[in-house]
Amino acid sequence: MKRIYVLASALCMVFASCQKNQEESTEDVMALPQEELSISKEQCGTMGVLEDKIAENPGLIQDMAAVEAHTKLALEGGFTKRLAADGKIEIPIVFHVLYNADSENIPLSQLEDQVAALNEDFNLQNPGRNTIPAEFSAVEGNVGLRFVLEDVIRVKTKKRQWRPDDSMKFSSSDGSDVVNPQEFLNIWVVSNMPYRGGNILGYAQFPGGSWATDGVVMDHRFTGTTPYSTGRTATHEVGHWLNLRHIWGDGGCGATDYVADTPDSDGPSRGCPSYPTVNCGTADMTMNFMDYSDDPCLNMFTEGQKARMLSVFTNGGFRATMAD
């Protein structure tokens, strides 16, 4: 989609256009065996949570506008980033596993599987990337991030479910406090998260938000390798954490994801769409990690998305301390 850089007033318009009726009906978009779990139309709760955060703190609009202004300069070559000797940026992960039932206290192996999936997806090692159509493989990007498991914090909680209101990020509300968010990616793994009539798989906080709540939240059933997951939900949410938007721009044709090399689309994909699926006059990039296709059919980031993500690590960027 066309890259558009906006400041505070334009951001207000973007966020307003993304708002949805809180009372809208939902439908099951994923059948989960042996579980009564309806998935919200908004599988990812990131944009809805952002709306709520802006309602609570309108100043967040200016903070995110500053991130966008820095992104523009970084993409124009105004800043540099520090890299490890092998050319990668290393991101240590602290997992907070919050559990009530024993089944929610997922094993270390499942968390290691999740880290492995992130390393595949951000380094052109995704097992399905050979299915990417030639039209899109020409812009496939190797982001070059290395994720490592730093620590696992396990908390036995009284809560059987969590709403996506960041309460899981505070010990005062029976959750677990963030750990050094300027150095670590914090991922909270929880039980189901009811939202707008269904359940979401995860949500993330964009750059520019409070450090006290910075990170990603995941349903334990969609973390790592499970009967329902190959770990791509976390890839999607980490994309948000690195300032990517949904590939359809959370609107109809003409809505933007602030990236030039992703085609226009009128909404999210479901299942494993065949190629080409045409909307807005172009083929949809349904295999992009920032769409809603099923895990086996999500296989790529673009060069434009790569540049946007890496801009947060440049000098003065919101996550620059991770690249020091």
In this predicted structure, the answer to whether residue 248 has a pLDDT above a threshold of 70 is: yes
User: Does the structure show a pLDDT above 50 at 17?
Assistant: no
pLDDT for 117-127, tens place per residue? 999 999 999 99
pLDDT of residue 324: 79
Quote the CA–CA distance of 199 and 213 in Å, as a whole number: 21
Q: What's residue 21's pLDDT?
A: 34
- Per-residue pLDDT tens for 191-216? 999 998 899 999 999 999 999 999 99
Q: How far apart are CA 298 and CA 209, in angstroms?
A: 27
- Global pTM value: 0.89
Instruction: Give domain limits for the chain.
Output: 8-318
Residue 78 binned pLDDT confidence (cut-offs 50, 70, 90): low
Active-site position among 68, 104, 140, 237? 237
Average pLDDT over residues 282-291: 98
Q: Is 302 helix (H, G, I), strand (E, B) or coil?
A: strand
Contacts of 97 (CB under 8 A, 6+ apart): 104, 105, 106, 111, 152, 153, 154, 155, 189, 220
Sign, CA torsion 51/53/56/57 = negative
CATH code linked to domain 8-318: 3.40.390.10
Q: What is the Cα–Cα distance from 219 to 224, expressed in whole angstroms?
A: 10
Cα angle 170, 173, 177 (rounded to 5 degrees) comes to: 15
pLDDT greater than 90 at residue 278: yes
pLDDT over threshold 60, residue 80: yes
Indicate if the pLDDT at residue 35 is higher than 60: no
From the CA atom positions of the chain, what is the Rg in Å? 18
237 among known catalytic residues: yes
Q: What is the pLDDT of residue 323?
A: 86
Q: Which of 81, 95, 58, 69 is nearest to 238 (CA)?
A: 95
CA distance 226 to 77: 41
Tokens linked to 155? 């908390």
Q: Which residue matches tokens 């499970």?
A: 226
Is the confidence at residue 18, as pLDDT, over 70?
Answer: no
